[in-house]
Amino acid sequence: MSMFEDIPVEVGVIYEGERIRRKNMQVELGGPKQEHKFELARVKKLEEIEDGKITILGPDIKDMSEGSSNPLGIIIEVAGEKLEPDLEGVIERRIHEYTNFIEGVMHLNQRYDIWLRLDKKSFQKGLNSFVHVGKVLQRLFKSELSIVEKIQTTFITDPEKIKDPWKESLEIYEARDAKARGLKDEEVDKFYCCSLCQSFAPTHVCIITPQRYSNCGSISWFDGRASARVDPKGPVFEIDKGEVIDAEKGEFAGVNETAKQKSLGEVTKVWLYTSFGYPHTSCGCFEGAAFYIPEVDGFGVVHRGFKDVTVNGLPFSTIADSTAGGRQVDGFHGISIEYMRSPKFLKADGGWNRVVWLPASVKERVADFIPKDLVDKVATENDVKTIDELKTFLKDRSHPIVETWKEEPVAIEQAVPTEVEGEIPAEMPIATVPQLPITMGGYKIILKDAKIYAKKVIIRPMKGEKLGGKGK
Ligand code: SF4
């Protein structure tokens, strides 16, 4: 008898990566419309768990109206002789993988950002209760992780009953993250690699180091180690750091080798501490994204929960599209919030000295990790709404980035009296354009994320015009 014979839909790895569009969805759980959403794993004592128990607090799927958006909390409680609380983060992250195995269920993101959709076809086939989802999770956890001996699951959809456990979950995540701080990348020989999101972005893997938390913010170096120990053939595995090729940018031979292997040659180098050149790739479930603002030569960071447009007029979704999909895009960089607390945060780009804009809620969360003399110099949506306002703000507050502008606004007549020619290294693009339309022979060709290479660049002044500096 199949392990899932009593489940009305198929369950299997082929359903991972399914996208469910709004028009096809029966219900949405969590996601951007809901404040209260979370998933949490807890390790308990064997006697505290009633194996196989599934509790639903609030309306079940069949009680939700078609097309509705609902809060959701998922609590997985596990017990086993060899299970330790250190494994909670790892077990929790498997919820993403296993839920996505269910035909017609899409699970995105993690922790307090979860976003699920159930499609109409699967609902019509009978997938209309959290009991089915709970049973699948429980059976997969036990079969895939033999150290899980007992498991009970709770789904919370009641808008009132979810509030306290949601708040408690935020405290638990913070305590977990705090525990993982302190260890340095230089102090270890092994890093960890996670390939869980390859079903969504086949060329992406996360490289998890003590000072670079996973993009989704749910796997620390310690979690990676715990996961690789209990399931060495699983999606999170150990890698040799290898030779340090560039300590400043964060380039390591072992990381390059792993990225190359896992991306089937698509990604050949990864620079862990910079957003330029060969930045760490991003799948789609990063907590936030760092984005370069050329007008001020600085970085903004926006997180998934930010509903407004950022200072450059783009919402999170557009910025996320520019960085997702396992690519390396100059100046765009998927990151976790915890990475912002790391001394290696965009280190090769200037670290916090290069950050000019953040949503107020993110600034509040990481304020203790921003150098004291910089805290008031980084703008939020409450200070500025446009790039022009941002420039004024940065000047008024003497942000260190302003110092770098001083070299720039030179009249071209002085700096370049006639014409300047420059040879460009073959591997260096002269420009990266998110979208480049070309019209040719009656067709419009759109190149996405185009990198433009040129053998030579000629800068020629136009009569009567001055070259504006990048900071002006
Ligand atoms: S974002 Fe990275 S660490 Fe998180 S699940 Fe995906 S691949 Fe793994």
Q: Find the mean pLDDT for residues 319-338.
A: 92
Q: Which of 110, 219, 227, 280 to mutate to test ligand 1, by most ligand atoms within 8 A of the CB atom? A: 219
pLDDT above 60 for 213? yes
**How far is 88 from 94, CA to CA, in rounded Å?**
10
DSSP symbol at 350: T
Determine the atom of ligand 1 nearest the C-alpha atom of 208. 3
Determine the atom of ligand 1 nearest the C-alpha atom of 206. 2
- Percentage, residues of the chain above pLDDT 70: 86
Q: What is the pLDDT of residue 3?
A: 87
Segments of the chain assigned to CATH 3.40.1470.10: 185-405
Find the range with the poorest average confidence among 171-185, 273-287, 302-316, 438-452: 438-452
Q: Find the mean pLDDT for residues 207-232.
A: 92
Q: What value does the mean pLDDT of the chain take?
A: 88
Q: Find the mean pLDDT for residues 359-372.
A: 96
| DSSP-derived 3-state class of residue 300 | strand
Pocket of ligand 1 (CB under 6 A): 93, 194, 196-197, 206, 214-216, 218-219, 283, 285
Between the CA of 188 and the centroid of ligand 1 the distance, in Å, is: 21
Tokens, residue 456? 């030579």
Q: What is the pLDDT of residue 438?
A: 57
Which amino acid makes up residue 37?
A: K
**How far is 247 from 271, CA to CA, in rounded Å?**
10
pLDDT above 70 for 453? no
Tokens, residue 384? 């500025």
Determine the atom of ligand 1 nearest the C-alpha atom of 96. 5
Q: Which of 93, 177, 200, 270 to mutate to test ligand 1, by most ligand atoms within 8 A of the CB atom? A: 93
Segments of the chain assigned to CATH 3.30.1650.10: 13-176
Q: Which of 94, 197, 335, 336 to mutate to test ligand 1, by most ligand atoms within 8 A of the CB atom? A: 197
pLDDT in tens, 390-419: 999 999 999 999 999 976 544 434 334 444
Q: Which of 203, 227, 285, 338 to mutate to test ligand 1, by most ligand atoms within 8 A of the CB atom? A: 285
Determine the atom of ligand 1 nearest the C-alpha atom of 235. 8
Tokens, residue 200? 């969504």
Tokens, residue 370? 């921003």
With a threshold of 0.85, does the pTM exceed it? no
Determine the atom of ligand 1 nearest the C-alpha atom of 198. 7
Nearest CA to ligand 1 atom 5: 196
Determine the atom of ligand 1 nearest the C-alpha atom of 204. 7
**How far is 136 from 307, CA to CA, in rounded Å?**
34
Q: Which long-range contacts (CB under 8 A, 24 or more apart) does 178-182 make?
A: 179/222, 180/210, 180/213, 180/220, 180/221, 180/222, 180/223, 180/338, 181/341
Determine the atom of ligand 1 nearest the C-alpha atom of 194. 8
Please report where in the chains the tokens 């200037």 appear, as a residue. 350
Please say whether the structural domain 185-405 has been given the CATH code 3.40.1470.10. Answer: yes
Q: Say if residues 380 and 360 touch (Cβ distance below 8 Å).
A: yes
Between the CA of 245 and the centroid of ligand 1 the distance, in Å, is: 25
pLDDT above 70 for 189? yes
Q: What is the pLDDT of residue 468?
A: 35
CA 188 distance to own-chain centroid: 24
**How far is 258 from 270, CA to CA, in rounded Å?**
10
DSSP symbol at 48: G
Pick 462 or 216 by higher pLDDT.
Answer: 216
Q: What is the pLDDT of residue 414?
A: 37
Nearest CA to ligand 1 atom 3: 214
| DSSP-derived 3-state class of residue 240 | strand
Nearest CA to ligand 1 atom 4: 216
Nearest CA to ligand 1 atom 2: 206
Between the CA of 258 and the centroid of ligand 1 the distance, in Å, is: 15
pLDDT above 90 for 67? yes
Determine the atom of ligand 1 nearest the C-alpha atom of 286. 1
Query: Which residues does residue 451 pair with via DSSP β-bridges, in sequence order?
Result: 432
Alpha helices in 17-162 (DSSP H): 88-100, 120-124, 130-144
Between the CA of 397 and the centroid of ligand 1 the distance, in Å, is: 37
Q: Find the mean pLDDT for residues 150-157.
A: 98
**How far is 40 from 304, CA to CA, in rounded Å?**
19
Give the CATH number of domain 13-176; options: 3.40.50.300, 2.40.50.140, 3.40.50.80, 3.30.1650.10: 3.30.1650.10
Q: What is the pLDDT of residue 413?
A: 40
Q: What is the pLDDT of residue 232?
A: 86
